[in-house]
Amino acid sequence: MVKEKSLKSGNKFGTRYGRKNRDKFAKIENSQRKLYKCPSCHAIKVKRLSTGIWSCKKCGFTFASKAYSVDKVSIKEEIADGTV
């Protein structure tokens, strides 16, 4: 018997849908479930709330980014006197 590579979350589909599709699904699902670095407090505590909406568990900062991963979020802090 041939030993198969573990697909982690892709294993729930069994032998259905093909190897490449299960690999792609596992890669996307693993990236959306891991913790990311907060652009505000720089703690590694950011989790996905829903599609494109991310929130830091430490400081409560909520922001929008890519659907399945956080990627270079630009934060504009407005100061009362009008400078950025």
Q: Domain limits of the chain?
A: 8-64
Residue type, 10: G
Nearest 5°: the CA angle 7, 9, 13 is 85
- Give residue-wise pLDDT tens across range 31-44: 889 999 998 898 99
| From the candidate CATH numbers 3.40.50.970, 2.20.25.30, 2.40.50.100, 3.40.50.360, the one assigned to the domain spanning 8-64 | 2.20.25.30
pLDDT band at 4 (very low <50, low <70, confident <90, very high): low
pTM, two decimal places? 0.70
